């Protein structure tokens, strides 16, 4: 047998991104919306599928979708970039501004795909670390940016998996540091609609800042894999040179455009989940747990005196799946639960009480 070709040396020992897919009654591990989009949306998407010219390539620029997103956020269409989930947005940013010979800064613990995408695209990862309370440490941010002069710096707000939000003052200070070394700041707002403020307020043509969003969470469209970026037009123009032609299919573009006819429904879902998050948070704080405040649709917690892996398995045995984060940087012993429906959350809380008793 001929020798098999090996992957790149820098990828050979890398683990892929894994989220266990286990058959359970209550799935609260991937921060999906527990509430589906309205029936009127589904009907409109079905009608769009029936009228799609399947034998033709889609609009390469996704003009209609970009125009509607621009109107939603009060920017121009040439300040909008759309892709197959926010992960493809991040990948395109890394392919455009990162790569071999450049570094990407991030601050652990944070979203695992930031480092994964940076490494896959050939960049060096410059890691900083949050404080003991998991809040961003500006002194460490300065150390990393001054020391590595990263081409890209990531902030995730609300941060996944902690749920914590960076203040406007913090983001502005980090942006000044990033621009001082000629870099680009990427604020990942996959859970931005749950937060009290958005870095979209800081986006302008003369700042090196982009904000990424996804349809997966608040728009209840995880199955669609659709995300976007808002930023200066000169960044978007460079991204369009790099992304594959016709990468965004016609039905996905239609679904993303149709969803924007249902902003009120989306905001109602956000309100429902935010209220439910408060109820779950209060219940968790009555148990022997360390609980972090969250401005997203999930809560991070650490059991006292119990192994996180054992707790995770005991919940699975009760047909409840949460995310075991105990192997992530800085999160020893931690679990993360997505906010579900009231019934799902009651099942989770009952199971957790049994496990911890």
The end-to-end CA distance of the chain, in Å, is 57
Q: Where along the chain do its domains lie?
A: 26-37+264-356, 50-261
For the segment 95-146, what is each residue's pLDDT rounded down to a tens digit? 999 999 999 999 999 999 999 999 999 999 999 999 999 999 999 999 999 9
Query: How far is residue 35's CA from residue 37's CA, in Å, rounded to a whole number?
Result: 7
Is residue 21 over pLDDT 80? Answer: no
- Closest Cα to residue 159, out of 307, 293, 303? 293
- In this structure, which topology does domain 26-37+264-356 adopt according to CATH? 3.90.1150
Exposure string for 190-217, b = 16+ CB within 10 A, e = fewer: bbbbbbeebbbeebeeebbbbbbbbbbb
Is residue 191 over pLDDT 80? Answer: yes
Mean pLDDT of the chain: 96
pLDDT of residue 2: 77
pLDDT classification of 277: cutoffs 50, 70, 90: very high
Contact between 238 and 47 under an 8 Å Cβ cutoff? The reply is no
DSSP 62-119: -HHHHHHHHHHHTS-GGGEEEESHHHHHHHHHHHHH-STT-EEEEEESS-HHHHHHHH
Query: Which residues contact residue 224 at a Cβ distance below 8 angstroms, ignoring those fewer than 6 apart?
Result: 215, 216, 252, 255, 256
pLDDT classification of 17: cutoffs 50, 70, 90: low
For the segment 194-225, what is each residue's pLDDT rounded down to a tens digit? 999 999 999 999 999 999 999 999 999 999 99
pTM comes to 0.95
**Helix (DSSP H) and strand (DSSP E) numbers for the chain:** 11, 13
For the segment 329-349, what is each residue's pLDDT rounded down to a tens digit? 999 999 999 999 999 999 999
Q: Pick 50-261's CATH classification: 3.40.50.1220, 3.40.640.10, 3.40.50.720, 3.40.30.10.
A: 3.40.640.10
CA separation (Å) from 189 to 6, 87, 111, 214, 268? 36, 12, 11, 8, 19
pLDDT of residue 12: 65
Q: Please compute the mean of the pLDDT values over residues 216-239 and round it to a whole number.
A: 98
């Amino acid at each position: 047998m001929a020798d098999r070709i090996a992957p790149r040396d820098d990828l050979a020992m890398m683990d892929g991104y894994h989220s266990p897919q286990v058959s359970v009654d209550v799935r609260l591990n991937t921060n999906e919306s527990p509430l589906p989009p309205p029936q009127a949306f589904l009907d409109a998407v079905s009608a769009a599928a029936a009228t799609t010219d399947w034998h033709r390539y889609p609009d390469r620029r996704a003009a209609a979708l970009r125009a509607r997103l621009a109107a939603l956020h009060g920017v121009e269409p040439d300040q909008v970039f759309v892709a197959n989930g926010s992960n493809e947005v991040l990948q395109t940013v890394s392919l455009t501004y990162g790569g071999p010979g450049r570094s990407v800064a991030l601050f652990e613990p944070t979203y695992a795909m930031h480092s994964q995408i940076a490494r896959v695209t050939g960049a060096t990862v410059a890691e900083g670390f949050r404080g003991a309370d998991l809040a961003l440490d500006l002194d460490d941010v300065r150390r990393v940016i001054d020391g590595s002069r990263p081409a890209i710096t990531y902030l995730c707000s609300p941060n996944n998996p902690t749920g914590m939000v960076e203040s406007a003052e913090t983001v502005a200070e980090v942006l000044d540091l990033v621009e001082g070394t000629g870099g680009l700041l990427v604020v990942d707002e996959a859970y931005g609609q749950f937060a009290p403020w958005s870095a979209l307020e800081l986006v302008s043509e003369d700042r090196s800042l982009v904000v990424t969003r996804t349809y997966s969470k608040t728009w209840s469209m995880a199955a669609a894999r659709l995300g976007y970026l808002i930023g200066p037009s000169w960044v978007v123009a460079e991204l369009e040179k790099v992304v594959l032609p016709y990468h965004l299919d016609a039905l996905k573009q239609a679904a993303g455009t149709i969803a924007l006819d249902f902003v009120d429904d989306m905001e109602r879902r956000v309100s429902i989940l935010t209220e439910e998050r408060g109820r779950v948070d209060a219940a968790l704080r009555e148990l022997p747990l360390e609980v972090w405040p969250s401005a997203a649709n999930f809560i991070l917690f650490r059991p006292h005196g119990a192994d996180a892996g054992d707790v995770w398995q005991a919940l699975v045995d009760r047909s409840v799946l949460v995310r075991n984060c105990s192997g992530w940087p800085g999160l020893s012993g931690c679990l993360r639960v997505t906010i579900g429906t009231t019934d799902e959350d009651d099942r989770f809380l009952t199971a957790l009480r049994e496990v911890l008793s």
